[in-house]
A and B are shown apart, each in its own frame.
Chain A
Amino acid sequence: NAGVMQNPRHLVRRRGQEARLRCSPMKGHSHVYWYRQLPEEGLKFMVYLQKENIIDESGMPKERFSAEFPKEGPSILRIQQVVRGDSAAYFCASSYTGLISPINTGELFFGEGSRLTVL
């Protein structure tokens, strides 16, 4: 009976390296959201995915960041050539329906986050 599982919980990278963050949604959930939490900026929406599709990536930086949610396996947020400004907590959330669905119950289930530190 696992909730949203994120790994790794903590990740340290040097500038220029790649970071891969994984998110396994709750069983039966096909909607995945990635958020970034910076110390002074709160939680910011990055991208919304359904299986094999990116629905909305309006919150994703244009370069170096990408996300996928394959048919099999977890959703992955990939950050290439990391910089110090990428240091943050990255949260994944899943839901059974999309938020604008008429049967939306209102609940996003969040993982415990992956904390990226770039040296």
Chain B
Amino acid sequence: SQELEQSPQSLIVQEGKNLTINCTSSKTLYGLYWYKQKYGEGLIFLMMLQKGGEEKSHEKITAKLDEKKQQSSLHITASQPSHAGIYLCGADISGSGGGADGLTFGKGTHLIIQP
């Protein structure tokens, strides 16, 4: 089973509308990373959350990590065509001491912005 579940898998939103993407784990997220990938290209770092209840914003994108550190949401306000792409959440779910020093990623959310 997927350790990080992203929802929805795909999303079509009219330009100017708000949207939310969720990332959920059954394990504690010791570090939660949001990336954006344009089709056929590399990943662009958006933001990282580490503390329960933490919230960060960059331009029109806000990400939150819940108090239990098992769910994060990415919210885009007044969406624009430039927001289109694949949004990936990645997390350190290995915990402290040992374990992989790489991130576990969700499958991604495909976001399409309709003019």
Contacts and interface: CB of A to CB of B under 8 A. Distances in A.
B84 interface: no
A46 B100 CA distance: 10
B12 interface: no
A71 interface: no
B100 A108 contact: no
Contact of A42 (B48, B92, B96, B107): B107
Interface residues of A, number: 31
Interface residues of B, number: 25
A59 B102 contact: yes
Nearest to A45: B102
Interface stretch (A62-70, A75-83, A109-117): A109-117
B52 interface: no
Interface string A33-64: 10100001111111110000001101100000
Contacts of A46: 102
B102 A99 contact: yes
B78 interface: no
A91 interface: yes
A106 interface: yes
B88 A42 contact: yes
Given A43-B88, A45-B102, A99-B92, A112 B48 contact: no
Interface stretch (B13-21, B38-46, B69-77): B38-46
A112 B42 contact: yes
Interface in B1-60: 2, 31, 33, 35, 41-45, 47-48, 50
Q: Which 10 A-B pairs have the closest CB atoms?
A: A106-B48, A45-B102, A42-B107, A43-B105, A110-B43, A112-B42, A110-B42, A107-B45, A48-B101, A58-B100
